[in-house]
Structure 1
Amino acid sequence: MKPFFKSIFDYHHYFNQKLIELFLEHSGSISKRTIPLFSHCLNAHQIWNARILKTDSFGVHQLHALKNCKDIDKTNYVDTLKIIDTFDFEETIKYTNSKGDNFENTVKDILFHIANHFTHHKGQLISDLRQQEIEPPVTDYIFYKR
């Protein structure tokens, strides 16, 4: 299962980097929600990593300068690979969400959530690019694996 999760996060990291390049290339014409939405994706990934690693986290809606997004994404990716390599997937993580409520989930479920969260918002970002008449990359997982 660990190789599968590594593959999923390789995929997300690869396309996050491609999308950031595209956002930078078209910074004057991307939607006003693109940077806040992409920042939210990076934040959520970092927050979940921090919950597992017990480190400080970003705010859910913290805004990032586009020029910093590649480094943030790379850090998230490296931290996730560390989690995959060192944690038991069935280990339960206790955490407090942004509203102050306490929960617990397994590492495996958290990793799956991070990947799903990216997939959901990536679709929104792709739609926004098309609405601005910017041709997005094909980000389907199966195309990536080909």
Structure 2
Amino acid sequence: MQTIRNMFAHLDWANRRILEALQAAPANEVGHSVKLFRHVLQAERIWLIRLRGESSEGLSVWSDDTDLANCAALIEANGSGFAAWLDAIPEARLNDPIAYRNQAGAPFESTARDILTHIALHGQYHRGQVNAALRAGGLEPSPVDYILYARLNENA
């Protein structure tokens, strides 16, 4: 369970660092990067809703919203939501199947452990794309590797 908690603490830290990098960049140069980052945050929201046993139907995974204030709000909501969910689930229940429907309405079942792993990996993949886009545009990317997070937080 501690590994999953660490992954989600890292996810929250990395999301905040990417947000800071996007906020520091000229707004007219980061539109695509913000859309991609918004996708990460919205996907996290959708998976959290599914983990809670609620329907995510009607929520779009992609948005044209490039308002960084909305991204900041999603980071806060997702971070507190995952922390509360992880605090409430016993480790023994992580392998229980969770039934949900994807955004097209198709039914699936996955274990909570697999869903949580997917969320962490999905976000890291797309945060890498955001950083690559920032670098390609001559802007400053934000290092978000797990090992950096671990080094910075080893005495916390």
Give the TM-score of the pair, scaled to structure 1.
Answer: 0.91
Percent identical across equivalent pairs? 30
Q: SS at 1:40's partner residue?
A: helix
What is aligned with 2:12?
A: 13
* Residue 126, structure 1, aligned to residue 131, structure 2: yes
Q: Count residues in correspondence.
A: 145
Over aligned residues, Cα RMSD in angstroms?
Answer: 1.5
Partner of 1:134: helix, strand, or coil?
coil
Q: Output the TM-score relative to the length of structure 2.
A: 0.85
**Structure 1 unpaired stretches of 5+:** none
1:36 partner letter: K
SS at match of 2:100: strand
2:39 is aligned to 40
- Which of the numbers 70, 73, 91 marks the counterpart of 1:71? 73
Q: Is the 8 A contact 1:40 1:63 kept in 2?
A: no
Asked whether the 8 Å contact 1:29–1:132 carries over to 2, the reply is no
Unaligned regions of 5+ residues in structure 2, if any?
A: 152-156
Report the equivalent of 1:135: 140
Q: Is the 8 A contact 2:18 2:127 kept in 1?
A: no
For the Cα contact (< 8 Å) 1:44–1:60, is it kept in 2? yes
Q: 2:87 aligns with which of 59, 77, 85?
A: 85
- Could you list the per-position Cα deviations for residues 8-43 of structure 1 after superposition, in whole angstroms to 9, with x for gaps in the alignment? 111111121121122122142533311111111011
Distance in 2, matches of 1:21 and 1:62, equals 20
Cα distance in 1 for residues equivalent to 2:27 and 2:47:
31
